[in-house]
Structure 1
């Protein structure tokens, strides 16, 4: 079993971040060794790159499973990432809603409705995904770098092209 970062014991309502290969899966701890999570068909412990296929899924199932069955041999940590931004909802409400959703099939979209959106909405009433935000920032950064790179190349070509023309006219 993989330990948490600090070997902390999760409390009901805590968000659990599970470090898979290339992405993080998220669950919410509901007590007695169980978590509730939004799982597309390809999401399971030790799924590795195969779980990346979840980007093609449009539905996912809300599951209640033992934490160690979800974590597998991956590392995890308690990560109530938005506590500084939002007041967590009352624990009773979080747990009641999480339990009421178990077994439901929900719309799934890696960009607008993934497992991280699911658990942050349960805890804070706000569906947010830091992973999506980071991916978008990286994508925008790469796009800007490409535009800047093309601009520099175009400028260099213009400058060197002008110098070549000057040499030809002398």
Structure 2
């Protein structure tokens, strides 16, 4: 019987992405179970995305660093507050999920930069200090595309916690 990981891997291999839909500088969103992951399309089937990863703390071996980040590496990266900007193929970035293109254009007041400027900003920020709440993949792409570092997801989490806390304390 196949494990969940094997089923997911098989599903990932079946999904084909029409990269002709994407332009350099597009903001790509991939819905996940508990959050949305964000990246910037660089062209040539490549996406730059900020992702937590413990591996650079443990080794400088290029082969180990280039392997896809698994959940253990990701979670340990979150705990250690270590992340890096990776450039991966669209398929590896999406991991079998649907990709939304420039969805944030509808909610951001600022106009996006031109595609080449977005790509230049994305490629310039290869090393950043990571924080799940204060600087994550959404902050990264928002800075690259709109010039402002913000995360709607973490704002909602912080606002929800504050609201929940105030209700409890007022009882």
* TM-score normalised per structure 1: 0.71
For the 8 Å contact 2:78–2:132, the answer to whether it is kept is yes
| 1:1-170 aligned within 5 A | 1=12, 2=15, 9-41=21-53, 47=70, 51-82=74-105, 84-101=108-125, 104-148=126-170, 151=171
Which structure has the greater CA radius of gyration?
1
Distance 1:134 1:87 in 2: 22
Distance 1:52 1:131 in 2: 18
The structure-2 alpha-carbon separation of the partners of 1:64 and 1:24, relative to structure 1 and needing over 3 Å to count, comes to same
Distance 2:157 2:16 in 1: 27
The C-alpha deviation readout for 1:112-149, integer Å capped at 9, x for no partner, is 1111100100000101101101101211121122123x
For the 8 Å contact 2:53–2:73, the answer to whether it is kept is no
Distance 1:8 1:21 in 2: 27
RMSD: 2.9
Distance 2:54 2:99 in 1: 19
Between the two proteins, the alignment pairs up a number of residues equal to 145
For the 8 Å contact 1:45–1:70, the answer to whether it is kept is no
Distance 1:55 1:145 in 2: 29
Distance 2:158 2:27 in 1: 23
| SS at 1:81 equivalent | helix
* TM-score normalised per structure 2: 0.71
Distance 1:63 1:46 in 2: 10
- Give every structure 1 segment of 4 or more consecutive aligned residues whose post-TM-superposition deviation is greater than 4 Å: 1-4, 42-50
